[in-house]
Structure 1
Amino acid sequence: MEKNMKRSKEKKSKKKIWLWILGSLVAIFLIFIGTAYYAIQKTMNKINTPLIEAADNEGIEQKTVTKKEPFSVLLLGVDERKDDSGRSDTMIVVTVNPEKQTMKMLSIPRDTRTEIIGHDSVDKINHAYAFGGVPMAVDTVEHFLDIPIDYYVFINMDGFLQIIDTIGGVTIENDMDLTYNSYHFPKGDVTLTGDEALIFSRIRYEDPRGDFGRQIRQRQIIEAVMKKASSTSSILKATDMLEVVGDNVRMNFTMKDLIQLQSIYKKMDRNIDQLSFEEGDGTKINHIWYYIPNDAELQKIQAELKEHLK
């Protein structure tokens, strides 16, 4: 069953979710420059949040996207509910080498057991966000992969799904028949409202792939939202979309960075190398289930990402 999970995960990860998120955000902002500059600037002021190291609380010098210098991005999809700091259910690291016009994308299993930097503990990697927000999540991923993380994109999955109703629902290709309480999601194309998408994105135990299946569905929803949000039919709803984006997305990309990204990411659409953990094992420690990466495989992935950032 674990092998089936990995094969399904690897197949669906080719969705290029990172491209849709950054590319579509760029499209939404740039379409309205000149006609809705104030609204765009107001949203960017809310979204742009510089990164601060969790360990010493000192500001990190902000990097600027260029057409030559390699950089890395951590995408955090967080299931953050009322009165709950949430956990990062989706953690994707992307390294980009503009000069080589190549990109590498790695999904980190949320239950991966590792040292939580700044918390003096060993726990599931997705708990880093719950313990110390984006800074601790970034510090922990940097330590786990032994590479610097230059940028992050944070998405509050719960609140972000509000945009689905704003744009009139989204359609995704569901790869298996799923039922959760009164909700039924048949295999094939399924059109979802915001509430339905929220349930669909949280299903875990009803899917034999467990958390791997949930990650697949969350990526599908984010991709569908960003794709439709950047379509011509959604232009008239831009003000509402910007408001939802402003409330539920945080990143340390500036507007200048996003404009630069627009000219970079299109050239890399066919040059994405998908990396994944395939040789680790699941085990229980003190009655808690963890994913334990294979040391040799982890070192190989670390070396490949380091080389790509040169």
Structure 2
Amino acid sequence: MERRSADKRRKRKKKKRNGWWIGLLILILLAGGAYLLRKPLTALAFDWFISPTLESKLQQSYQPREGGNMPAPEPVVYQDKPFSVLLLGSDKRPYEKTRGRSDTIMFAAVRPKESRVLLISVPRDTYVQVIGRDADHDGADDYDKLTHAFAYGGEEMSINTVENFLDHDIDYYATINFQAIQDVVNAVGGVSLPIVEDMENKNPAHVKFKIEGGKPVYNGEEAMYYVRYREDSDFNRTKRQQIFLNALADKVLTINGITQIPELLDIMGQNFQTDMQPSFIVDLGKQVLTQSKPQISSFTIMGEGLKINGTYYDQADEEDLEYAQSLIENWMDPNTTSATLMLPDRQEIE
């Protein structure tokens, strides 16, 4: 009797051990399967949680260019041809009735097939020919700061001016008002920024603020001040804008960040405008999520100070300008391969 009881106990223990091992094996298989299928699962999450509302949310931001010169993009599930986007950051304040100026000007060459983006930054005070602005009555020419093209003629004049300056066509534009940055960054839980030492605006003509260095995460207000700090150089300011965009992209390209995209579009509201059709953006977004993490390369066209009639400008370095043009030509060529893709010789995002 005792022997039979002992046998039953051993069988129960063996069965319990087998159940434990089977459970562990199932967990390993599930975890391994989830890892192997992480891209399809991400695409599924995109279809379930984002696609149903994303396209309708984007309708509020869709603003075709004036004149309707650009053909509507064809909704294609998989994008393989390079395209360009002019990224504009407006400094318009809530109380201002004018459109403000473009505080950030970046030419983005996007290669969706390789998940690569090239950002060519042009400092806002660069001395350029503003295309579409007539000379005034006293005979002055139409050269001015690049930032003023947006103030004079919005996205259309900015596009024409940058196309002339970089000698390359621009397919689309995207404009965001800096006032939306605070809420967007706060909505994703802040961003990591490489601020080693305190940053403080001391010039009485500038907005007064101080950002503490060495923090692991920075909130929306601090992030906005980071990209708008202007008491070192225009070049460093442009570099900070590139770093911020990279940090924000890192935060959004997570599962939690992805599911927040419709909410972020609500937050941006009328502060974000683009002429890329909603269906085009949705298809592109899904493609990005199912490929490798986008790699961002960047280059800033540097310049030297120039004073004309008491006004300071940046005179673009000719070698930098020619090099930026060659980078764009290479990245926008659909025949360029990963092996022949030119990488900036002066990288500004680590």
Normalised TM-score (structure 2):
0.66
Secondary structure class of the residue paired with 2:217: strand
1:216 corresponds in structure 2 to 239
**Bigger CA radius of gyration:** 2
2:89 to 53, 77, 94: 77
Percent sequence identity over matched residues? 29
Deviation at 1:220, TM superposition (A): 3.7
| Count of matched residue pairs | 274
Q: Does 1:289 pair with 2:312?
A: yes
Secondary structure class of the residue paired with 2:64: coil
Does structure 2 conserve the Cα–Cα contact (< 8 Å) formed by 1:91 and 1:110?
yes
Secondary structure class of the residue paired with 1:188: coil
Q: Label 1:178 to 1:39 Cα distance change in 2 as closer, same or farther (>3 A).
A: same
Q: Does 1:139 pair with 2:160?
A: yes
Deviation at 1:233, TM superposition (A): 4.2
Question: How do 1:194-213 residues align onto structure 2 when only pairs under 5 Å count?
Answer: 194-205=220-231, 208=232, 210-213=233-236
CA distance, structure 2, for counterparts of residue 219 and residue 32 of structure 1 = 27
Does structure 1 conserve the Cα–Cα contact (< 8 Å) formed by 2:181 and 2:220?
no
1:275 to 274, 295, 299: 299
Q: Label 1:296 to 1:45 Cα distance change in 2 as closer, same or farther (>3 A).
A: same
Question: How do 1:101-140 residues align onto structure 2 when only pairs under 5 Å count?
Answer: 103-120=117-134, 121-140=142-161
Q: Label 1:58 to 1:169 Cα distance change in 2 as closer, same or farther (>3 A).
A: closer
Q: Which deviates further from its counterpart, 82-91 or 182-191?
A: 182-191
- The unaligned stretches of length 5 or more in structure 2 are 1-41, 135-141, 203-207, 334-350
Q: Which deviations, in whole Å up to 9, do the C-alpha atoms of 1:252-291 show, x marking residues without a partner?
A: 2223322235436945845x5543324x321111111111
Deviation at 1:134, TM superposition (A): 1.0
CA distance, structure 1, for counterparts of residue 122 and residue 273 of structure 2 = 20
Deviation at 1:86, TM superposition (A): 1.9
1:305 corresponds in structure 2 to 328
- The unaligned stretches of length 5 or more in structure 1 are 1-27
Deviation at 1:230, TM superposition (A): 4.4
Deviation at 1:112, TM superposition (A): 0.7
* Equivalent position amino acid for 2:91 in 1: D
Does structure 2 conserve the Cα–Cα contact (< 8 Å) formed by 1:160 and 1:244?
no
Question: How do 1:144-183 residues align onto structure 2 when only pairs under 5 Å count?
Answer: 144-180=165-201, 183=209
Q: Label 1:178 to 1:240 Cα distance change in 2 as closer, same or farther (>3 A).
A: same
Normalised TM-score (structure 1):
0.74
Secondary structure class of the residue paired with 2:63: coil
Aligned-pair Cα RMSD in Å: 3.3
* Equivalent position amino acid for 1:157 in 2: F
CA distance, structure 2, for counterparts of residue 170 and residue 97 of structure 1 = 25
Does structure 1 conserve the Cα–Cα contact (< 8 Å) formed by 2:61 and 2:273?
yes
